[in-house]
Amino acid sequence: MKPSTANIPNLLQDIKRAVREALAEDVGDGDITAQLIPPEREARARVITREDCVFCGKAWVEEVFRQLDPAMKVTWQVEDGEHVRADSTLFELSGNARTILTGERCALNFVQTLSGTATTAASYAALAKNSDIKILDTRKTIPGLRTAQKYAVLCGGCSNHRIGLYDAFLIKENHIAAAGGIESAISQARQIKPGALVEVEVESIDELTQALDAGADVIMLDEFTDKMTAEALKLAQGRAKIEISGSVNEERLEQLSGLAVDYISSGSLTKHLRAIDLSLRLLPDS
């Protein structure tokens, strides 16, 4: 699956910013080790993955070398969202040797992190492949890489929850208490941003009933037992979509995949990733 970068608001601007900041923290006022290499030397390099993964990060690699040296040529062997086997070539670089080695770690850091996110998402998506449930991410992302990880989640076959605090309402326990109750909170949300999705997190059947009566679009069941979930689904049928959240790992997801819920959200998609092992080597004729 290869989603478009256009699926995530502001992603292209965020890629440029993230790469600029990553290069600044790594290169500083110059790569002193790269100065060991004659400035005119040209080289070719190959990047491989040492393990199976779902690849993600093409635009970030291209932006790293675009900012360092627009003359660098990147030749791709894979696409975002592609399942790749261990020891496969991801891409090759040809151009200035200093530039290749200066940009290596920055480029690979993005790829190992985003491919790790996409691979985790793919494992979750596989557990729900025989159902209509959408697996959603959360806002538990690496600071500065929110939109990048949201994109990686799509590459892995899962779906995005809200991008941030600005594009949808998610009314939780503290919001309810401070706003004067569920009905009051939903009413105010409709006035603040008409047309925006309004979701309410509930911790009991009583709160669920209040959210339904107040017209919530989505109701998140937080730490509901299976019995409570079954009752909630009967009450909400046709009135609101139901999302399950809280302590959702792969084992729990497999248990829940048979329920007629609309969404299951899990912070694990973005915060429990394991970076993919990659390697860059200069080719012999370089």
What is the per-residue DSSP string for 222-273?
ES--HHHHHHHHHHHTTT-EEEEESS--HHHHHHHTTS--SEEE-THHHHS-
12 plus 102 within the same structural domain: yes
118 plus 176 within the same structural domain: no
141 plus 119 within the same structural domain: no
Q: CA torsion, points 258, 261, 265, 268, in degrees to nearest 10? A: -10
CATH, residue 54: 3.90.1170.20
Of 172, 190, 241, 271, the catalytic one is: 172
119 plus 144 within the same structural domain: no
71 plus 184 within the same structural domain: no
Domain that holds residue 50: 5-125+273-282
Contact 88, 78 (CB under 8 A): yes
Alpha helices in 41-158 (DSSP H): 58-68, 97-127, 146-155
243 plus 144 within the same structural domain: yes
Of 199, 201, 207, 243, the catalytic one is: 201
Secondary structure (3-state) at 25: helix
164 plus 260 within the same structural domain: yes
User: Torsion-angle region of residue 117: left (phi > 0), alpha (psi -120 to 50) or beta?
Assistant: alpha
Of 92, 222, 250, 262, the catalytic one is: 222
Q: Is 241 a catalytic residue?
A: no
pLDDT in tens, the chain (286 residues): 577 777 788 999 999 999 999 999 999 999 999 999 999 999 999 999 999 999 999 999 999 999 999 999 999 999 999 999 999 999 999 999 999 999 999 999 999 999 999 999 999 999 888 888 899 999 999 999 999 999 999 999 999 999 999 999 999 999 999 999 999 999 999 999 999 999 999 999 999 999 999 999 999 998 888 889 899 999 999 899 999 986 666 676 666 666 788 999 999 999 999 999 999 999 987 5
The radius of gyration of the chain from alpha carbons, rounded to an integer in Å, stands at 23
CA angle 95, 97, 100 (to 5 degrees): 80
Of 44, 105, 190, 241, the catalytic one is: 105
157 plus 168 within the same structural domain: yes
Secondary structure (3-state) at 255: helix
Of 16, 44, 140, 241, the catalytic one is: 140
254 plus 177 within the same structural domain: yes
The tally of domains found in the chain comes to 2
278 plus 267 within the same structural domain: no
Cα distance between residue 74 and residue 44, in whole Å: 10
Q: Is 201 a catalytic residue?
A: yes
112 plus 142 within the same structural domain: no
148 plus 227 within the same structural domain: yes
Contact 41, 282 (CB under 8 A): no
Q: Is 271 a catalytic residue?
A: no
Contact 198, 220 (CB under 8 A): no
Q: How many CA atoms lie within 13 A of 264 on its CB side?
A: 30
